[in-house]
Amino acid sequence: MDQADKAGASGKGPALFGASLFGAFQLTAPDGREIPISNKRARAMIAMLCLAPDEPIDRDHLSKLLWPGRFEAQARASLRQCLLDLGKLLAAADCDLLNISRSRISLNSDAVETDVAILEKTLAQQQYVEATNQLRSIGAKPLLDQIYFGDEFRDWLDSRRRQTEQRLQTAVSEAFSILEKRDNLTNHADLFNAWRVRAPETKAIKERKQGKARIAVLPFKSIANPDDHGFFADGVVDELITSLGQVPQLLVAGRTSSFQFKDSDKTPSEIAGALNVTHLLEGSVHRQAEQVRVAVSLVDADSGFESWAYSYDGSLDDMFAARTEVVQSVTNGLSDALKLKEHDTKLRKLTSNREAYGLYLQGRALTIRAIGDGVLPTAIELLEKALEIDPEFAECWTALAEAEINMTVYTPCLDRLERCEKAAGYAKKALRLSPQQAHARIVLAFYAWTQNDIVGALDLAFEAYRLEPNNPDVLNRVGSFLLYCGRSRDALPYIEASIDQDPVNGRSYAILSGVYLNLGNVDAAIEAGQRMVDLGFPSLWLAAALAVSGDNDAAVEAYQLTKKLMNSVIFPPAGSTPLDPDAMDAYWLMAAKGLWSGEDQDRKNYCMVLEMLHATLHDPYDTTITIPAIWMGQAQMVFKTLGQQITTANFFSFMSLWTDAEPINQVRLHPDFMDFAERIGMIAAWEKYGWPDLLPRPSTMT
């Protein structure tokens, strides 16, 4: 709808001007043409009035906000000249926008309509499909994102932002209530997903989450031939997680966390406590020759008692053909047992070939496992065999794409770029066959990073989120991508939501530790880093948080612990010869002291090592170089590594760029940083998705 149509819909006549407040401020004429306002303070003044259209602003207060640090008389004179220039510009556009008196300035609200007002009106008129489309278009854009004139102005703007967001939240919450009363679950889910992109953890979202039953689907016990390895049982669990995840009143624990409790001797209550769920879905698959029996039961976490059960008996061929019906029966039966409303679920389109399905399940299980000698090459071989049998198997193309990406991340391979490009081709094939796949988009997002197309990566991540807003892996990717771009505040709700559903996934705590460190919450960063270590992952970010806290000795000690995970969770650089134990001890001690001891000589020694590694490693862009370079504030090393080639293995290094502590911040403060950001596509991403928390847009800096 163009501005003229909007004006007509508002009933205020055809002469309404338009103002865009989400993202960068823009003023448009009734015919949709932008009215350029080159004076940044004039533009800010109109934006301020549009954000609070019913609040006149005192001239003295306005001059202090827009000209901080100037003498009072000088600031008032600057305001007078600004108003004079602005008046001429608006008159030329035939725009009667401002009411100016000797003491105050106010907005002629009859002359302009903002995108905020249009959204509020659409919600008030219960036009929920249109409101959903508007929210999708707005996305995560902050209000007046690119305007900054100092701390006092920021405080004023933050206050008005909170007021506006609160009004929108109230309106959306009321819409949720109305749609629930009407049992309009389709529109409810669409609006919910669109709003969640903007505010994933607002009060309205938290209230909805609190009202949901929380369930974990535990790995089914496989009672079968020894060579079966439980792949068929795991396939049933995967399909159940997918199906149950579409039930609006359910919050399903992530697969990574659920499978941590495979063959666990913990009680149901202990598992439920670790996963933060109210119910557990347990089951078994009993195979004897070609006969199969599937038994499923729902267990109440508090009592430990079974409250519902289901079983299926038949031949393996029957079970394979009827597995969709089995999954649907379990979903419907469980919904009835929990007294949930009726719903429609769409199961993934898999394959009708039993052999291809078996190969897919084995390959996908190894892809998810990722780490281990020969694990990923075997996964790729199995998936390729499955696709030879059924080349139309879309989910298998996605799994193959993920396996190739995991090869580039978790193994010291020398062909990262070629494998990543191959993975992108597989993901595109999957989407041609089945356009609704979120994970295929995430693979393409990884590839986009390697092509310096960070805007494209964020676009793909948010599209994946729209498709699967309750998928913890997708939540993690959206949050981490925002974090890499310096938008730590926006990233936090997505990462927290991911961990809420997948609380035993250690990798997520590295991201959470980085978010907290960037936000200045060092204690929380340490806690998240320690949780990551407790779950068996490297202690790198714990060491960084300890160093920022001032505890250099503890940071050095924590960093050295990482050597215990060499060749199990982390690997030597591609093409390098493994170190013997004594050499490894010496290297990790030197690295730990160089990064975190705080001693100049230790730092200089390690800097020389990084230069040597960059000159001699087969992969001069390896994380062995990029992450320490950022932590030590070695800007030139960052620019000639990440600035030359982003890979799927090193792009998570960006999360550490945004810690406002010495010496890490020296990269961001370097005079060549903006050229580096432009070269890798970061500035383009900021222009669309908002500038970093620590970096106001240059055109609005005083």
- Write the CB contacts of 40 (distance below 8 Å, at least 6 apart in sequence): 147, 699, 700
pLDDT tens digits along 426-446: 999 999 999 988 999 999 999
Task: Give mean pLDDT, residues 136-153.
Answer: 81
Q: What pLDDT, on the 0 to 100 scale, is given for residue 157? A: 86
Q: pLDDT higher for 462 or 69? A: 462
Share of the chain above pLDDT 90, in %: 33
3-state secondary structure of 141: coil
Q: pLDDT higher for 137 or 407? A: 407
- How far apart, in whole angstroms, are the C-alpha atoms of residue 529 and residue 543? 8
pLDDT tens digits along 536-552: 888 889 999 999 999 99
Q: What pLDDT, on the 0 to 100 scale, is given for residue 200? A: 58
- How far apart, in whole angstroms, are the C-alpha atoms of residue 167 and residue 170? 5
Q: Say how many C-beta atoms besides its own lie within 10 A of residue 437's C-beta.
A: 23
Share of the chain above pLDDT 70, in %: 90
Rounded alpha-carbon distances, angstroms, from residue 576 to 130, 287, 420, 588:
57, 46, 21, 16
The verdict on whether omega for the bond into residue 30 sits within 30 degrees of 0, i.e. cis, is no
Q: pLDDT higher for 149 or 522? A: 522
Question: CA angle, 680 as apex, 438 and 538 as ends, to 5°?
Answer: 65
Q: What pLDDT, on the 0 to 100 scale, is given for residue 269? A: 82
pLDDT tens digits along 4-63: 344 444 444 445 888 898 888 888 888 888 888 888 888 888 888 888 888 888 888 888
Rounded alpha-carbon distances, angstroms, from residue 30 to 25, 50, 85:
16, 16, 22
Q: DSSP string spanning 298-311?
A: EEETTT--EEEEEE
**Model confidence band, residue 202 (pLDDT cutoffs 50, 70, 90):** very low
Backbone angles phi, psi at 663, to 5 degrees: -90, 5
Task: Indicate the pTM of the whole model.
Answer: 0.75
pLDDT tens digits along 258-300: 888 888 888 888 888 888 888 888 888 887 777 778 888 888 8
Q: Does residue 309 carry a pLDDT above 80? A: yes
HEC profile of 79-100: HHHHHHHHHHHHHHCCCCCEEE
Q: Does residue 673 carry a pLDDT above 80? A: yes
Q: Does residue 560 carry a pLDDT above 50? A: yes
Q: What pLDDT, on the 0 to 100 scale, is given for residue 4? A: 39
pLDDT tens digits along 628-648: 999 999 999 999 999 999 999
pLDDT tens digits along 87-135: 888 888 888 888 888 888 888 878 888 899 999 999 999 999 999 888 8
The answer to whether 531 and 257 have CB atoms below 8 angstroms apart is no
Q: What pLDDT, on the 0 to 100 scale, is given for residue 568? A: 52
Q: What pLDDT, on the 0 to 100 scale, is given for residue 449? A: 96
- How far apart, in whole angstroms, are the C-alpha atoms of residue 138 and residue 207? 23
Backbone angles phi, psi at 504, to 5 degrees: -115, 25
Q: Does residue 526 carry a pLDDT above 90? A: yes
**Strands 250-252, 213-217: pairing kind:** parallel
Q: Say how many C-beta atoms besides its own lie within 10 A of residue 93's C-beta.
A: 17
For residue 143, give the DSSP letter: B
Q: Which two tokens stand for residue 596?
A: 């975190």
Q: What pLDDT, on the 0 to 100 scale, is given for residue 7? A: 41
Write down all domains in the chain, each with its CATH number in brackets: 3-198 (1.10.10.10), 213-345 (3.40.50.10610), 486-700 (1.25.40)
Average pLDDT of every residue of the chain? 84
Rounded alpha-carbon distances, angstroms, from residue 130 to 124, 187, 619:
12, 11, 50
Question: CA angle, 575 as apex, 573 and 580 as ends, to 5°?
Answer: 70
Q: pLDDT higher for 312 or 484? A: 484
Q: What pLDDT, on the 0 to 100 scale, is given for residue 479? A: 93
Q: How many helices (H) and strands (E) does the chain have?
A: 32, 12
Q: pLDDT higher for 645 or 166? A: 645
Q: Which two tokens stand for residue 80?
A: 């007078």
- How far apart, in whole angstroms, are the C-alpha atoms of residue 133 and residue 118? 12
**Model confidence band, residue 563 (pLDDT cutoffs 50, 70, 90):** confident
Q: DSSP string spanning 538-588?
A: --HHHHHHHHHHT-HHHHHHHHHGGGGGBTTTB-PPTTPPPPPHHHHHHHH
- How far apart, in whole angstroms, are the C-alpha atoms of residue 240 and residue 328? 8
